[in-house]
Amino acid sequence: MLTIAYGELVQIFRNRLVLVTSLIVPAVVSGFFIYRHEVFASLGSLGYIAAIVMFTVAAFGLYSTAVTTLAGRRQNLFLKRLRSTAIGDAGILTGLLLPVTVLALLQMTVILTVLAIVAGLPANPLLLVIAVLATVVMMVALSLATAGLTNSPEHAQVTTLPVSLGVIAVSSWVGITGTTDLTLLKRLLPGGAATELVLDAWNGGAPVSESLILLAPTLSWVIVSISLASRMFRWEPRR
């Protein structure tokens, strides 16, 4: 598994398109939000900025890159060859997705740390860590489900758009308008509950026990995504 992970890490830094998509674009967008944090905080709050930069990295740096990676490895028959080895399916997928997941977590950590230094510390750092980890798990699970519908790396540019743009749109909606209206709908949409959890973690105000309940919708998306992935994921190119 670690050998596969190391090989994927090397491929990420060799592929300029993947490098730009997974590292540079999220960093530039997040840097803009942090640089203009006073303006964006006036639209929502500092928690809103934290949620947006988190989902920018999660959507483009993690989710889109993971789908592209899996589709590419399927297309060049690398997945098929790996299944002929002693490594199990879970070990193969873990090895392929571990590098991009770790890079995304590092990016989020650096970006949110910079935001805290520039704009002020979050009210509950531990709750923020929980929100970040839950979001990462959800986006990895969604990438596995989407990869089942994706025939090639080029096709991934299309299949990843609904989720990538959707979670960012939901995060903006919740971050700016809050959850005083249409509460259930906002929490059930992918990214809605996670955004509210980030808002509670950064801005404070809600009891921790109430905030942790927000993990339920996010983890539900994990279960749904894994269920879909188990049905749709293919190890060989579609004919």
3-state secondary structure 92-153: HHHHHHHHHHHHHHHHHHHHHHHHHHHHCCCCCHHHHHHHHHHHHHHHHHHHHHHHCCCCCH
What is the model's pLDDT at position 46? Answer: 92
DSSP 182: S
Taken in order 70, 137, 59, 7, the sign of the CA dihedral is negative
Over residues 190-217, mean pLDDT: 89
Spatial separation of the C-alpha atoms in residues 109 and 114, rounded to whole Å: 9
Q: What is the pLDDT of residues 143-201, one digit of tens each?
A: 999 998 998 888 988 999 999 999 999 999 999 998 888 989 999 999 999 999 999 99
What is the model's pLDDT at position 239? Answer: 60
Spatial separation of the C-alpha atoms in residues 77 and 95, rounded to whole Å: 16
Q: How many distinct helices (H) and strands (E) make up the chain? A: 15, 0
**pTM, entire model:** 0.93
3-state secondary structure 67-94: HHHHHHHHHCCHHHHHCCCCCCHHHHHH
In 36-57, which positions are buried (b, 16+ CB within 10 angstroms) versus exposed (e)? ebeebbeebbbbbbbbbbbbbb
Alpha carbon distances (Å) from 212 to 48, 219, 222:
18, 11, 16
Asked if 228 and 145 count as a contact pair (C-beta separation under 8 A), the reply is yes
Spatial separation of the C-alpha atoms in residues 123 and 231, rounded to whole Å: 41
Spatial separation of the C-alpha atoms in residues 31 and 26, rounded to whole Å: 8
Q: What is the pLDDT of residues 7-41, one digit of tens each?
A: 888 877 777 777 777 778 888 888 888 888 888 88
What is the model's pLDDT at position 41? Answer: 83
What is the model's pLDDT at position 205? Answer: 74
Residues 6+ apart with CB under 8 A from 34: 49, 53, 111, 114, 115, 118, 119
Residues 6+ apart with CB under 8 A from 32: none
Asked if 61 and 18 count as a contact pair (C-beta separation under 8 A), the reply is no
Mean model confidence pLDDT for the chain:
89
Q: What is the pLDDT of residues 48-74, one digit of tens each?
A: 999 999 999 999 989 999 999 999 898
Q: Which of 42-46, 117-121, 140-144 is predicted most confidently?
A: 140-144
The two structure tokens encoding residue 30: 């997040």
**Would you say how long the chain is, in residues?**
239
Q: What are the residue boundaries of the structural domains of the chain, listed by start? A: 2-232
Over residues 76-86, mean pLDDT: 84
